[in-house]
């Protein structure tokens, strides 16, 4: 099929590339000429494992192209995905400015064409959007003279760092449609990814839009729950690792997302929880559980700093701390709402000199902080002369370091492990004072 994807961020670029990999003719559109120039040069504006190879292969085989010319790309496509950003507004709602701008541009491009049979031209919202957006987009297209253009909802469930596998081997594909013919077009598009009997779930657009928010709300709830239990374990001298195993083996609960840490971040959970709260507020329904999830996460981002301040007796001015891990999770360079940034802000405000390392996110952090931080090319380079080490992101290369070398490089032999990467007994054997999350030490 001929497919156009508008937006070349994480979702749009992964969607377009994976659809090209399955044999479709895909054009990705963006209004940022610099991004398109980067992509046409065979490079990526983001880091996502495995994506560069797929982009280069499909460009070479002429199944994937990049352009700023939305009108031409839209008129050539049967399926048009909207995959632009929906950042959080000041009121907490999702800002749909970009989505509606793309919808209006699509309407302007297609208003003169004769209508075809159902499913011959479909606009698909891939962006995470509040319930009712599908209807609003359809209304805007109709007002622009395109009542024949169908509008479907197809939420994404991609994890940064594993987005290729998530798209190629989905747990499920959710589509929201108003005509069965449109569902069949999308079923044909996704058929190559559903050969292992993964479900293709057809529902109303409103239900599809809500499914995305409900999924993220449940996952965020699990994270805030285990973090709150970890903080209670600290006070009661219990070990959250043991507790996690004790509850995770209950099949009703499971282990996924039951890993305590410094709080969730990224482009999805924080803004999506705020959007869910805002949707409830608009309908007169206070969502107390979601408000609590959000509040627990905000507090959790300060827990690691609290442990650091307590260890040094509140006297942090003039200290130097090394920070390993800046991205909000491993295998990405995304620092949006990253817990590491909260920690860095608190440390700088307390007069601490901060030395940082991350395998992929260094340049993004440098763009925010400039010369306020010392940027080490290698993990061990961040340790030299530091009074302690804080681990905020559990990159694989941090899991089995040379502890003897760490001890020699650090001026202060203390490790603040925000991800419970290390074993407390091992750290003690190497002479470290060790603080984890929920491991029984406040």
Q: Would the annotation count 160 as a binding residue?
A: yes
Q: Would the annotation count 403 as a binding residue?
A: no
What is d(CA 88, CA 391) in angstroms, rounded to the nearest whole number? 28
Q: Would the annotation count 257 as a binding residue?
A: yes
What is d(CA 384, CA 406) in angstroms, rounded to the nearest whole number? 9
Q: Would the annotation count 158 as a binding residue?
A: yes
Q: Would the annotation count 188 as a binding residue?
A: no
Known catalytic residue: 268?
A: yes
What is d(CA 351, CA 201) in angstroms, rounded to the nearest whole number? 53
Q: Would the annotation count 261 as a binding residue?
A: yes
Can you say whether residue 405 is alpha, beta or left, with left for phi > 0 and alpha for psi between -120 and 50 degrees?
alpha
Q: Would the annotation count 260 as a binding residue?
A: yes
Catalytic pick from 28, 146, 233, 268? 268
> Diameter of the chain by CA atoms?
76
Q: Would the annotation count 441 as a binding residue?
A: no
Q: Would the annotation count 30 as a binding residue?
A: yes
Q: Would the annotation count 86 as a binding residue?
A: yes
Q: Would the annotation count 128 as a binding residue?
A: yes
Q: Would the annotation count 133 as a binding residue?
A: no
Which residues does the annotation mark as catalytic?
Answer: 268
Annotated binding site: 30, 35, 86, 128, 157-160, 212, 257-261, 265, 271, 329, 336
| Binding site as annotated, residues for NAD(+) | 30, 35, 86, 128, 160, 271, 336
Annotated binding site for substrate: 157-160, 212, 257-261, 265, 329
């Amino acid at each position: 099929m001929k497919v156009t994807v508008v937006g070349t961020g994480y979702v749009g670029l992964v969607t377009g590339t994976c659809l090209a990999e399955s044999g479709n003719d895909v054009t990705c559109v963006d209004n940022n000429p610099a991004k398109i120039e980067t992509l046409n040069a065979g490079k990526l504006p983001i880091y996502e494992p495995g994506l560069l190879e797929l982009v280069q292969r499909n460009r070479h085989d002429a199944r994937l192209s990049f352009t700023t010319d939305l009108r031409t790309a839209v008129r050539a496509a049967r399926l048009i995905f909207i995959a632009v950003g929906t950042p959080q507004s000041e009121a907490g709602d999702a800002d749909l400015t970009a989505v509606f701008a793309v919808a209006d541009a699509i309407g302007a491009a297609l208003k003169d064409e004769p209508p075809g049979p159902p499913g011959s031209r479909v606009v698909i919202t891939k962006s995470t959007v509040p319930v009712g957006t599908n209807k609003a987009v359809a209304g805007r297209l109709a007002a622009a003279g395109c009542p024949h253009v169908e509008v479907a909802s197809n939420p994404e469930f991609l994890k940064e760092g594993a987005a290729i596998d998530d798209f190629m081997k989905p747990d499920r594909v959710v589509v929201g449609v108003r005509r069965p013919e449109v569902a069949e077009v999308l079923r044909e598009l996704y058929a190559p990814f559903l050969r292992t009997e993964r479900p293709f779930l057809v529902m109303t657009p409103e239900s599809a839009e809500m499914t995305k928010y409900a999924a993220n709300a449940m996952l965020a709830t699990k994270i805030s729950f285990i973090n709150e239990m970890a903080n209670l374990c600290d006070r009661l001298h219990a070990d959250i690792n043991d507790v996690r195993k004790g509850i995770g083996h209950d099949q009703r609960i499971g282990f996924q997302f039951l890993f305590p840490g410094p709080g969730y971040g990224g482009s999805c959970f924080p803004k999506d929880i705020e959007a869910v709260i805002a949707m409830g507020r608009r309908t007169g329904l206070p969502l107390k559980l979601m408000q609590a999830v959000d509040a627990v996460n905000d507090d959790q981002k300060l827990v690691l700093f609290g442990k650091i301040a307590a260890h040094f007796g509140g006297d942090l001015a003039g200290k130097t701390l090394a920070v390993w891990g800046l991205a909000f999770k491993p295998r990405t360079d995304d620092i949006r709402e990253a817990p590491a940034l909260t920690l860095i802000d608190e440390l700088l405000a307390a007069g601490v000199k901060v030395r940082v390392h991350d395998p992929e996110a260094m340049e993004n952090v440098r763009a925010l902080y400039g010369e306020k931080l010392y940027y080490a090319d290698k993990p061990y380079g961040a340790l030299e002369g530091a009074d302690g080490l804080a681990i905020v992101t559990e990159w694989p290369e941090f899991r089995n370091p040379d502890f003897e070398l760490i001890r020699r490089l650090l001026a202060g032999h203390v490790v603040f492990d925000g991800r419970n990467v290390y074993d407390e007994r091992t750290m003690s054997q190497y002479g470290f004072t060790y603080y984890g999350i929920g491991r029984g030490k406040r």
